[in-house]
Amino acid sequence: MRSEIISVATGSRERVHDITSECAAFVRAEGDGLLHVFVPHATAGVALLELGSGSDDDLLAALGDLLPADDRWRHAHGSRGHGRSHVMPAFIPPYATIPVLDGRMALGTWQSVALVDLNVDNPQRQVRLSFLSD
């Protein structure tokens, strides 16, 4: 298995950050196998979805409705509503596994790989990319 960590600056706002190109570059020289994308953080997730068409904003809005940034959360350190960031990975897991065929991710036509981060207190994230060949 080959593995490496990439750094992603998510900044100080909620974010759906496209990491498709980094994933594609990581598997480009490979043959067939599996790409595993993992975020080693308790407050971030990985999603496969269409980006750039408003879907990323729709996802953030849906998460805002489902997990409001208010004072209801028992896990209450950090910015207001921080506890929701710790609940989010139960809905958007911190990993995704993608088939790779002849060095290319076998994504659907409109699918992209995205890091989803609601935690405005942690502006820098790491993502572990691992390739397991067949």
Cite the DSSP H helix spans in 5-134.
20-27, 55-66, 82-87
pTM of the model: 0.93
Written as six digits, the tokens of 134 are 């067949």
Residue-wise pLDDT for 48-100, tens only, equals 999 989 999 999 999 999 999 888 878 777 777 788 889 999 999 999 999 99
- pLDDT attached to residue 120: 84
Vertex 126: Cα angle to 121 and 131 (nearest 5): 155
- Give the sign of the dihedral formed by CA 85, CA 91, CA 94, CA 100: negative
Cα–Cα distance for residue pair 76/5, rounded to 1 Å: 29
* Domains of the chain in sequence order: 2-132 (2.60.120.460)
